[in-house]
Amino acid sequence: MDLVIKDLNKSFNNKHVLKGISLTINSGQIFGYLGRNGAGKTTSMRILMDVFKGDSGSITMDGKEFKPTDHRIGYLPEERGMYGKFKVKDQLVYFAELRGATKKEAQHSMKKWAEEFGIDIYLDQKLETLSKGNQQKVQIAQAFICEPDILILDEPFSGLDPVNSKIFQDSLLNYIREDRIIIFSSHQMGYIESFCDDIAIINDGKIVLDGDLNAIRKQMGEGKLRLRFAEQQNLDFLAAYDYTIEREDVILTLPPTETKKSFIEGLFSRGIELTMFMDYLPSLQEIFIEKTGDKNVEA
Amino acid sequence: MSKLKTVFNFELLGMIQKKSLLVTTAIMCIITLLLTTIPTFMIWFGGEGAEEELNENGEAPEEFTLVYENDELRESLSPVLGEETYATEEELRDAVQNEEVASGFVVEDYNRYTYITYDSSNFSAEQMSFEAQLKTLNEDRLFDENGIDSQQVREIMGQPIEQETVYLGKDAGSGTAIAFGVLITMYLLILLYGSNVATSVAREKDSRTMELLITSSNPRILILGKVGAVGLTGILQVASIILFAVIGFMLNKGNYPEFLIDMLQGTMTMDVVLVYILFSVMGYILYLFIYAALGSLVSKVEDVNSAVTPITFLFILAYFAATFATNVPDNTIVKVTSFIPFISLFTMPIRYMLTSVPIASLLLSSAIMVITVALFAALSIHIYKFGALNYGNRLRFKDVINSFKK
């Protein structure tokens, strides 16, 4: 399955929130959707869930117009909460039914996911009587119930303790299938790097970067080297290059006039000893800051 | 439609699970049952005591504390008023002063007496009874002196006038109590469940449950389901109380004074009940929608009260108009307000029960009511949708107006 968003625009009270965003989201993997607060992530997700319509643009699924009602969409919002005064099982079934499941399906699936997240013993309790950690598990289970074919996770790890976080990661990785689309939005770059193949970065309502994460890293690191020198070397020659220091490493940008080969030959001719020489791959955090830092925000 | 049922069932479950609601309903039902049994209690407890005090003539014998100023008075009056208690006025005064007796009479002439009592609050039926008896005695004495047969005079003066009133319209007097009862019930019902529905919406926003709700369902379904479920709970609560009232009334019917039975059965005809149900239910729903919409404008439960103040204010005004209507149901103001939906829920049924309302007026008012409910339901859905997606600061009326422009 592939979900294609084309030239999507949305304004609120004359404020242009989404400025023609275009994205392709493939099934069978976890799609990382990044952006600073207020960049337009939630708005685009809400349009996908038909909370409101976009002003212009199109959304298609496998080439046909995307109708949210034809799909089961699981959603874990960033700011999340459920009914404190209701029993866990009643509200899990309720949310599943709201997404279009029958009562029977909902009850069956509710039990399955409650077991998966270890909250089956709390099903008959009111949510407010559970610990914060267990309440979070209920909220996560809610997103998975009735096996949605589109799963949207907005900052799923926020507030999770390491144990719950691990349980969730395992469930998420097991959930990947060719007929499922998973959209993962987070500010915790480490998770995106470890889960996601494709990413998109939205900044000020525009997609500023999208594609395969490894390809992006390679592309953005092109012409840069990561070097580590043996101790007590004369590094005066570096003054002729554009470089930054990252702990023990030097990240150096090769000028267009030089190749890796000529550069390393130059080092050897100067008698400089190296302990590491490799292509530089920027971290997602670096890419993110470069693409969304304040200098990129329109005044 | 199935989603609406899902939301409705879930909201209803939430309402019915509230222990406080169940307990208050049970208590109110018991109180209602007790209230409707009062006439029976009065016979049980009041009946025997009263009988003992009655004499052969069916009157309570009265013993007056008396001082006769002269022998003539003593001789002629004591067979009826009773024997002298104290010899002189001074003795009587001392006795009252020392609280031996509460009060006493000094009979100075056939048509003059002094009433001696300690506190003015002691003025009572005793004095009236004494005066009435003294007056009769004096009149009889004067009739006799003038050679008139006092017995005959009494008979002539005691001739009753037989009368019957035929109400071609409606008897306002007997319905007032019921009108007032329904008015208070509707007042409490709307205030209670209005704030309930507003709080329920605000709580969903406060806890961020709204994020899940609004992304898995349509706001129209959410608000319809909620208003439906909360509304039905209120109706069920009132219905169970009315049921207990009817049970209590049926069980104790034999002990009710006749005028009360006439009052209850005479005015509550089927058409009055139907008009009451129509206007009360529609008005109730109208207010619930507005309360729900206003509840969606705040993000914190504690802000609900200030958000619903405007509608509560309007509602209290409507209530006062209706209290006025129960007293003067034929007033022009009442007639006018019976076409304004926010008030007509009270005033139209009152007018219909207590006065004669042309059928055209009734239909017109019903139509206005139905259209207004539909209009405000649509408006509330819009406000709810707008409010549900906006967190943070309390939304102003201006923001809501702006949201319509889009």
In terms of domains, do A136 and A161 share one?
no
Q: Residue A31 and residue A45: Cα distance in Å, rounded?
A: 13
Range of the domain at A104: 83-146
Closest CA to A156 of A140, A170, A171, A141: A140
Instruction: Kindly list the residues from chain B whose CB atom is less than 8 angstroms away from the CB atom of residue A52.
Output: 389
Map tokens 């002691």 to a residue. B122
Question: Does residue A291 sit within a domain?
Answer: no
Q: Is the pLDDT of residue B400 over 80?
A: no
Question: How far apart, in Å, are the Cα atoms of A235 and each of A248, A252, A258?
Answer: 13, 13, 18
Question: How far apart, in Å, are the Cα atoms of B267 and each of B168, B331, B353, B354?
Answer: 14, 20, 7, 8
Tokens of A172: 């998420």
How confident is residue B327, by pLDDT bands cut at 50, 70 and 90? confident
In terms of domains, do A24 and A63 share one?
yes
Those residues of chain A whose CB sits closer than 8 Å to some CB in chain B are 13, 46, 49, 51-52, 73, 75, 77, 79-86, 90-91, 94-95, 97-99, 142
In terms of domains, do A17 and A1 share one?
yes
Number of domains chain A is built from? 3
Q: Is the pLDDT of residue B57 over 60?
A: no
In terms of domains, do A62 and A104 share one?
no
Sheet holding A64-65, edge to edge: A15-26, A2-12, A56-61, A64-65
In terms of domains, do A125 and A5 share one?
no
Which residues are CB-contacts of B306 (< 8 A; sequence separation ≥ 6)? B298, B394
**Residue among A52, A77, A90 minimizing CB distance to B212:** A77
Quote the distance between the C-alpha of residue A117 and its chain's center.
Answer: 22
Residues B297-319 have pLDDT tens digits of: 888 899 999 989 999 999 998 89
**What single string gives the DSSP state of each residue in B250-275?**
HHHGGGS-HHHHHHHHHH--HHHHHH
In terms of domains, do A117 and A138 share one?
yes
Residue in chain B lying closest to A103 (CA):
B6
Q: Nearest CA of chain B to the CA of A13: how many Å?
A: 8
Question: How far apart, in Å, are the Cα atoms of A210 and each of A38, A179, B238, B249?
Answer: 19, 22, 60, 76
Buried-exposed string B345-362: b where 16+ CB fall within 10 A, e elsewhere: bbbbbbbbbbbebeeeeb
Q: Is the pLDDT of residue B59 over 60?
A: no
Question: Does residue A288 sit within a domain?
Answer: no
Domain locations in chain B as residue ranges:
2-40+172-405, 61-157
What is the mean predicted confidence (pLDDT) over A7-20?
Answer: 91
Q: What is the CATH number of the domain that holds A47?
A: 3.40.50.300
Question: Does residue A286 sit within a domain?
Answer: no
In terms of domains, do A59 and A160 share one?
yes
Which class for A70: exposed (0-12), middle (13-18), buried (19 or more C-beta within 10 A)? exposed
Contact A156, A188 (CB under 8 A): no
Question: Does residue A89 sit within a domain?
Answer: yes
How confident is residue B78, by pLDDT bands cut at 50, 70 and 90? confident
In terms of domains, do A142 and A153 share one?
no
- Residue contacts between A and B (CB atoms, under 8 Å): 59
In terms of domains, do A159 and A139 share one?
no
Residues A256-282 have pLDDT tens digits of: 888 999 999 988 898 888 899 999 999
Question: Does residue A295 sit within a domain?
Answer: no
In terms of domains, do A210 and A157 share one?
yes
What ipTM is given for this predicted complex? 0.82
Contact B217, B3 (CB under 8 A): yes
Instruction: Kindly list the residues from chain A whose CB atom is less than 8 angstroms away from the CB atom of residue B5.
Output: none
What is the mean predicted confidence (pLDDT) over B5-22?
Answer: 92
In terms of domains, do A98 and A203 share one?
no
How confident is residue B356, by pLDDT bands cut at 50, 70 and 90? confident
What is the mean predicted confidence (pLDDT) over B131-141?
Answer: 89
Q: Is the pLDDT of residue A15 over 60?
A: yes
* Beta carbons of A81 and B215 less than 8 Å apart: no
Question: Of A221, A236, A253, which marks where a domain is finished?
Answer: A221
Q: Is the pLDDT of residue A238 over 90?
A: no
Quote the distance between the C-alpha of residue A18 and its chain's center.
Answer: 18
What integer best gives the mean pLDDT of chain B? 85
In terms of domains, do A134 and A156 share one?
no
